[in-house]
Amino acid sequence: MIDADDLIALVRNYNPKTNAPLIAEAFAYGQKMHDGQNRHSGEPYFTHPVAVAAILTEQKLDDATIITALLHDTIEDTGSTYSEIEAKFGSEIAELVDGVTKLTNLQLSSTETKQAENFRKLFIAMSKDLRVILVKLADRLHNMRTIRSMRVDKQAQKARETMDIFAPLAGRMGMQWMREELEDLAFRVLYPDARNSIIRRFITLQRETGDVIQKITADIEGELEKAGIQAETFGRAKKPHSIWRKMQEKDIGFSRLSDIYGFRILVNSEADCYAALGAVHQRWRSVPGRFKDYISQPKSNGYRSIHTTVSGRDGKRVEVQIRTQVMHEVAEAGVAAHWSYRDGVRAANPFAVDPAAWIATLTERFDEEDHDEFLEHVKLEMYADQVFCFTPKGEVVKLPRGATPLDFAYAIHTRIGDSCVGAKVDAIRVPLWTRLKNGQSVEIMTAEGQRPQATWIDIVATGRAKAAIRRSLREEDRERFIKLGRELVRVAFEHVGKRATEKALTTAAKRLSFDDRDTLLARIGSAEFTARQVIETLYPELAHKTGEEIDAARAIVGLKPSQTFRRAACCQPVPGERIVGISYRGKGVIIHAIDCEALAELSEDSGRWVDLHWQEGRHPAAHAVSFDLTIANDSGVLGRICTLIGEQGANISDLVFIDRKPDFFRLIVDAELRDIEHLHAVMLALEADSDVAAITRHRDLGRKP
């Protein structure tokens, strides 16, 4: 472990005006508070906060951040308090330490807490002061570097959390070096065999081809020298995890990967960036579709660079990044460049973004989304690469790679997205699912009265568009579900000789803990709740007045006392039908109708067949049966059909439209029936109705028993 003087020396290298006494005091305080505590490796615990502080000095961060790193575990793991830290080191540092403590207590990968809600809290903490997440990322990096001393199960949990959350977050903040190291450390834990295999292939490749990196670096330097461009060139093999990810995405082996080497050219000016690009493209053939200009269109985290992929020596593809030294500083530090120092003063890097503005772009509209949508949006934003498209007026719209014209429309305004009916890309009409490319001009066509379609969810790529579409669909569905729920309730009430008055529904909603009667009706219309439950709540004596009925648990004859049973979902047998039981290990006995086509697959396995029959007597109307109905698309028809089913003493438990035509609807209706006679009575009544074009019993062999 380095001592206080060594740490202060690291800070002085980039900030000669550092408050050395305050850092020394924080070092002594942290060491005292953690005295007697050890890490899993057996080392004194304070070695960890010191290592975190040292990592942050590599990013040339301010004194407050370095001191926060030294104290980041004191409130959580020692007797220290917020007020004590505030008294000794000031409110700024106390706020930062408290923020890191709250982040540490968020179980981001926990199955016991709502991950999306914790993500929201994470971003709220980031929005207050982004330095909190910088300390947390350095904390995670050191923990991953020393993860071997932890229990194996804990290693896997931390590695998965790192891969899913902290590594992409570091990348989204522009700290690509940290993202790559976090990914590789997690990769080592999660997939050690895959990582070792890739490393062995690299060693073999180097033995066969020699030092390719040195040769290609020399080639690039030669071309730049010929063009009279002063530059530094660096080359490296890509990290094992990056290579493994490419192998997974492209479903190819290591030997077929071409761009496993990356090179970086640092020049003196923006003009030299484009001159260097010209020199590289003159010497080597560029790979189509692999060029990105982040200088003319910077990323939202301040990143600027030119990326190109060329066919280099011996036809090997290599990626080349070209940038200035000032751009490189932001590329290495990302959003953290806002706090970095040079020669004792805050670095005035023109490309460093304002952290408040950056976090605002990342969390835009999140307050309008529910927690699960928030989580989806965050992950999309963190993993997204970007494309830049133009409006017809030449304004730039930034979108993640894979975005469509619908995403473009919603990026302009929700109203434009909701009313979108078509799009032109570079003046050519294209389908809404077209994937946009860099530099394309997009024109959105709208129509009054157009509403988002459910299929749009699968077309769009941005969290903003997905959230807006879901919100619109919910509003539209709610009105439809309320209307259907009201009809189902009316039928259920009439069945017991009652009227579904507004007062009765309001009372039922209150007793069932719904916000209002419309919410209750919407839940009934969407089949999340049943009208029967409303009757049972308001009129329990009527709901249960069914005469002498057979107990549903004793409906089957022929089972052993210890055997449980349930009806097969594929054929939905009802009392009165001939049945057979099939025994399943761990599932008990599944009851099939004797004519169920699923039994053909089990004809050779007669040892599992159980001879059964239904109990004689009156069964409750509790056996769900599905009907495939085609009815006229006319005013009041659906309501009358629901009434007709209710008049036969059957309760509708679900209703799903599977086809809508201008003149006919086709739908699957689930009704709760007593027995086979009840089934025939319902089907006969429906078949006799003039607005029912067809009715069959719906049996779905694709459903599991």
**Of the residues 6, 35, 62, 77, which is catalytic?**
77
**Portions of the chain given CATH number 1.10.3210.10:** 4-190
Amino acid letter, 112: E
> Among the residues of 129-191, which ranges form H helices?
131-145, 152-161, 167-172, 176-190
Tokens of 668: 């699957």
Say whether 518 is catalytic: no
Q: Which string of DSSP letters, residue by residue, matches 382-433?
A: HH--EEEEE-TT--EEEEETT--HHHHHHHH-HHHHHTEEEEEETTEEE-TT
Q: Which helix (H) or strand (E) segment is 162 a member of?
A: none
* pLDDT tens track for 607-659: 788 888 888 778 888 899 999 999 988 888 888 888 888 878 889 988 898 88
User: Do 45 and 37 contact (CB within 8 A), yes or no?
Assistant: yes
Q: Tell whether domain 623-697 is in CATH 3.30.70.260.
A: yes
What pLDDT, on the 0 to 100 scale, is given for residue 107? 56
What pLDDT, on the 0 to 100 scale, is given for residue 546? 47
What pLDDT, on the 0 to 100 scale, is given for residue 672? 92
User: Do 265 and 224 contact (CB within 8 A), yes or no?
Assistant: yes
What pLDDT, on the 0 to 100 scale, is given for residue 457? 85
Kindly state which CATH superfamily the domain 4-190 is placed in.
Answer: Hypothetical protein af1432 (1.10.3210.10)
What pLDDT, on the 0 to 100 scale, is given for residue 343? 55
User: Do 454 and 490 contact (CB within 8 A), yes or no?
Assistant: no
**Portions of the chain given CATH number 3.30.70.260:** 623-697
**Portions of the chain given CATH number 3.30.460.10:** 201-346
**Of the residues 76, 180, 443, 494, which is catalytic?**
76
What residues pair up with 329 in beta bridges, in sequence order? none
Alpha carbons within 13 angstroms on the beta-carbon side of residue 434 total 18
* pLDDT tens track for 169-198: 787 777 888 888 999 999 999 888 888 888
Whole-angstrom Cα Rg for the chain: 33
Q: Tell whether domain 201-346 is in CATH 3.40.250.10.
A: no
Say whether 516 is catalytic: no
Phi, psi dihedral angles at 626 (to 5 degrees): -100, 135
Q: Rounded distance, CA 180 to CA 188, Å?
A: 12
Name the strands in the sheet holding 588-593, side by side, starting at the edge strand that comes first in the sequence: 565-567, 588-593, 579-584, 609-611
What pLDDT, on the 0 to 100 scale, is given for residue 697? 92
What pLDDT, on the 0 to 100 scale, is given for residue 260? 75
Q: Rounded distance, CA 496 to CA 535, Å?
A: 8
The overall pTM is greater than 0.75 = no
Strand 261-267, strand 317-324: pairing: parallel
**How big is the chain, counted in residues?**
705
What residues pair up with 68 in beta bridges, in sequence order? none
What pLDDT, on the 0 to 100 scale, is given for residue 266? 94
Tokens of 152: 């194996």
User: Do 232 and 226 contact (CB within 8 A), yes or no?
Assistant: no
Q: Which residues of the chain have pLDDT under 70?
A: 105-128, 208-210, 248-259, 312-315, 337-386, 539-548, 688, 702-705
What pLDDT, on the 0 to 100 scale, is given for residue 385? 58
User: Do 229 and 267 contact (CB within 8 A), yes or no?
Assistant: yes
Q: ∠ at Cα 476 (475, 479), nearest 5°?
A: 90
What pLDDT, on the 0 to 100 scale, is given for residue 313? 63
Q: 495, 512, 420, 483: which is closest to 639 by C-alpha?
A: 483
